[in-house]
Each structure stands twice: as C-alpha cells, then as structure tokens.
Structure 1
C-alpha cells in the first residue's frame, strides 16, 4: 500500500505538569483510509492497536480477518459493502478451523470458512476492544460477521444480509455489545451468540453481553442465545422470521439462563422453516425458552404469531431437545395479543417453578396464566 493510499490522522494526548513543566510522551493513533479497489485486509494488517481502518463507500470483494486488539474497522455506512470474492472458494467443513495459530489450535480462515469479517482471539487470551461499524456484509456462505475468543467486541450499525448461516455470530467471548445492527434474510439466526458452536458443554458467563436496538427480519430465527448466562436482550425489533427470540439450554451444568429478555417488539414471526435434527419445524414463535433457568422475560410486546408447531405461540416455555426442563423463569409484565395457539404457552410442569405475573394477554395454555 502506497503513502497515497493510507492517510494518517494523529490523535495525541499530552498532560502538562503545572509544577514540574514536564510533558510525558504522547500516544498517537492513526486512521488508515481504504479506497474502492484497494484491499481492506492490507490496511488491517498494517494497523496497530488503537488505530482505525476507515473504508470508503464502494464494493469490496474479499474477506477480512481482524487479530489486532483495540482496532476499529469502520465503513462509511450502507454504501460500504463487503461481498465474497469472485474467485470460487469451497468452505471448510463446518466446525473445522484452518489457518495460522493465534492462541487457539488454529484460527478461522475467513474466506475458506465462508465468512465475511472474522474477529479472532485466543480461547485463553481473548482479543480485546475491537469495534466493527457502519458497513454492510452480504452473500457469504456462512456468516456475515463471525467472532471468536474476544472481549468487549462492539458491533454497531452493521447490515448483515443474505448470508448462508448467521448474519452476526459470536462464540467463546465475553462482554460483547451488539447495537443498532440489521440482519435480513440470513439462513439461520440473524444474531447468534453461543458458548461453543459445536461442543456439548455447560453455559458460560458472558459477563454482561448486550444485544440492543437491532432489527432482525426474514431470518430463520431472529436472535439465538445458546448456552450462555448473564446477558441482556433488549429493545430489539424482531419480525418476519420463523421464530423471534430463542434462548437455548440443555442438561449440562451450569444451565443456560440468569439473563434478561426485555422491552423487545416481537411481531408476526410466521415464516415456515422445516424441522432439523434438534428442533421441530418452526412457524409462529415469538419468544421461546428451552432448557433454561432463572431467566427474566419482561415488558416485551409480542403479537400476531400463528402456527401449529410445538413451539408456536407468543411466549413459549419448552423442554430442550434432550428433555432438560425450563425452570424458575419469570415471565412478567409483557403485552401479548393475537398469538396462536395461545399468548402464553407453558409446557413444563408446575414443579418447574416458572412464574407468570402481570402479563396483559387473552389466552394461555394451560389456562390461568394471563
């Protein structure tokens, strides 16, 4: 990359010693500007901790891997579009990691794994403080944006559209913030957060991850939270999916749960999706808790869901696919209407300790929950 192709914006901070007259060394961060026709990856490789890679509007046919702590990858808005390379690349088998070592056994190779943007740290040495914002990623075989082994990753104002599996996905990570993103027409979840994509193991503590103010539309599932604890799913608009919000646990310890789903608008998720090895077919599911404990579902508005799947309904409590019960969850202060077979559906026994209170609704299964 030539000097013409990279612009530097130095931001210096100085503290003047009023009494000593001394000034410590300043810390400088750069902005590296990428123009259409140039490589985003080259700019990312040239960046150091604290730098910003600013990608101007245009279409960039590549995958981008970020492995630098504190880096910001920012586009110019929806006009900055990242798409797959025109060169055909066969995705690696699902779950197989390829590439160079980065603290885990091997890092994700973004392009060969079918992902658009990858933010990759180590399992025991997380990549800290990366931000991805203000761009569109579309048409990848797997995920638009995939992150693994990160801490305090921020993803905001990203459009993830028509990717084969997940729009925006994360595993083995803590304290992520996903805010003001849009996920449209992705093959599985628009937003997917998990402890581990493949392994059957207990839920992990996300240490306060936040999924807030996102638009999830026309995916298989709007938001999936799998085997995690201690996070908040708030103020999202979820519509036109087969299922709106899925919180998934199983029999492993610790159990998934101890999280909050609140203040979301979940409307008419009535798309049909066929059954899988883990789940029956999906249609007409608003918010589903399966195999979870101690979750709080509150102040959500859930309307217009119609279906006959075992998971259909406004807010549904259901055993996990291995039969682990949903226990000690609180469903309170929600507004529900026009959901079938019912606004509230509790398929657990009374001994499970799930509590329903203060919900505005007309029909429940069993009766008496409204």
Structure 2
C-alpha cells in the first residue's frame, strides 16, 4: 500500500492563505463544465437538491445568501461555485456522508465522497480510509464561505482530482479543510480563519497520493 502523503497546518488563531497560483473563478468554471449545463440556486432554495439533480460536467452557481445545510457530492465532474454564498450548520444537525469523520457527533459542511468507502473506527484525528470502491472524480468547489461546522468545513474523502479553490473557511471546530483516502487533491487560494473555535488543524491532507 502506498504510504500516505500527509501535510498538516494549524494554530488557535490564524489566517492561512494558499495562493501559489492565480486561478480565476471564470477559468475554473469553464474548465469544469465545458460539456455540461448550468444550474442556478437562489437564496431560499436548497443547494443539495441542485447537487442531486446535476450530471457530470454541470456547474452549480449558488447566488448570494446564507444557506443552512450540510451538503454531499457523489457525482463526477460537478463544479460547485459560490457567488457570495455562505454555508452554515442547520438548526438541527442532519447526517451527510462525512458525519462522524472527525470524531463522534461531528458534522461536516461540504462532503465530497466516493462510493463504497470503508472507514475505520475513530481513534484520533479523523477516521482513516481503509479502502475506496470507486472514487468520485473531478469535483471542484470554489467561492464559498463555510462557517462553524463541528467537524470539517469541507471534507474530501475517496476522491480523485478534486479541486478546492478560493474558499473562505471560518471557525471549523476540528478542521477547516480535510482530505483523506483521495488522490491528486488540489487546494489553493483558500483562507482559513478561526477566532476561538478551531481546536485542531486548519488544513489536513492525508491522501493516498498526490496533494
């Protein structure tokens, strides 16, 4: 088995900017959806419904507003693009595929997960990925502000070639961003901010290969 590639960065209060290259939102969207359609989500509409309706190559544009949801992406080739969108926890936690990933009762904001992902029991840090039946491929998330989830604000598990670009991750209690059991995840231009809540790691990359 390939030795996991792991990079971790974290402090109690910080603003972390990963910006090794300049990536425009327009360029990201056009690359991800050259052969797909566009689904537009307006304030008051559910983002998850748009994700569930999307097909490979579609881009989902989420307009300005605050959305109290937990999201799961399992479809290849989706580009989820925030245009001033803020994602916060719902009043009552709902389960997504990454619930419990960072420990019992923790909830993730945006969860990208492949099929038939076998997770070990939680011991420390996060649940380890033992195997992936089929990775979810070429998913991108950009332009979102994700705030205040008890696990990871954004988690990528059992994916290939995922891109998380230009998001603002605020007050995630355990992780701003976490990727595990994935390959070739690219993270750039994100800002992780925590005033009081972050207890652990701002950015954690614990992939099978290529981060």
Scaled by the length of structure 1, what TM-score is found?
A: 0.40
Residues 263-278 of structure 1 aligned to structure 2 (within 5 Å): none
Q: Is the 8 A contact 1:162 1:187 kept in 2?
A: no
Evaluate the alpha carbon distance shift between residue 113 and residue 156 of structure 1 in structure 2; reply closer, same or farther with a 3 A threshold: same
CA distance in 1, matches of 2:35, 2:164: 24
In the TM superposition, what are the counterparts of 1:187-336 in structure 2 within 5 Å?
187-195=199-207, 204=208, 206=209, 208-209=210-211
Q: CA deviation at 1:113?
A: 4.2
Q: Which has the higher strand share?
A: 2
Residue 128 of structure 1 aligns with which residue?
Answer: 137
Residue 98 of structure 2 contacts residue 155 of structure 2 at CA under 8 Å; is this kept in 1?
A: no
Higher-Rg structure is 1
- How far did residue 28 of structure 1 move? 4.6
Residue-by-residue CA offset, 1:259-278 (whole Å, 9 max, x unaligned): xxxxxxxxxxxxxxxxxxxx
Q: Which of 79, 83, 87 is matched with 1:82 structurally? A: 87
Matched, 1:55 2:62: yes
1:57 counterpart SS class: strand
Query: Does 2:108 correspond to 1:115?
Result: yes
- What is the aligned counterpart of 2:73 among 66, 77, 84? 66
Q: How many Å apart are 1:80 and its aligned residue?
A: 1.1
1:37 and 2:44 aligned: yes
Q: Tell me how far 1:164 sits from its aligned partner.
A: 0.8
Q: Which 4+ residue blocks in structure 1 deviate beyond 2 angstroms?
A: 107-110
Match of residue 165, structure 2, among 156, 170, 185: 156
How much does 1:85 deviate? 0.5
Is the CA contact (8 Å cut-off) linking 2:98 and 2:108 kept in structure 1? Answer: no
Q: Distance between the aligned counterparts of 2:148 and 2:106, measured in 1?
A: 13
Unaligned runs of 5+ in 1: 1-10, 12-26, 91-97, 100-106, 196-203, 210-370
CA shift, 1:75, in A, is 0.5
Task: Quote the offset at 1:50 in angstroms.
Answer: 0.6
Secondary structure at the aligned position of 1:56 is classed as strand
Equivalents in 1 of 2:155, 2:134: separation in Å?
A: 17
Cα RMSD after superposing both structures: 2.2
Question: Looking at both structures, which has the greater relative contact order when contacts are Cα pairs under 8 Å and sequence separation is at least 6?
Answer: 2
Aligned length: 157
> What is the rounded CA distance, in whole Å, between the counterparts of 1:124 and 1:152 in structure 2?
16
Deviation string, structure 1 residues 32-61 (Cα, Å, up to 9, x no partner): 000000000000000001101110011000
SS in 1 for 2:76: coil
Query: What is the CA deviation profile of residues 269-296 of structure 1, one whole-angstrom value per residue up to 9, with x for unaligned ones?
Result: xxxxxxxxxxxxxxxxxxxxxxxxxxxx
Give the drift of 1:108: 3.1
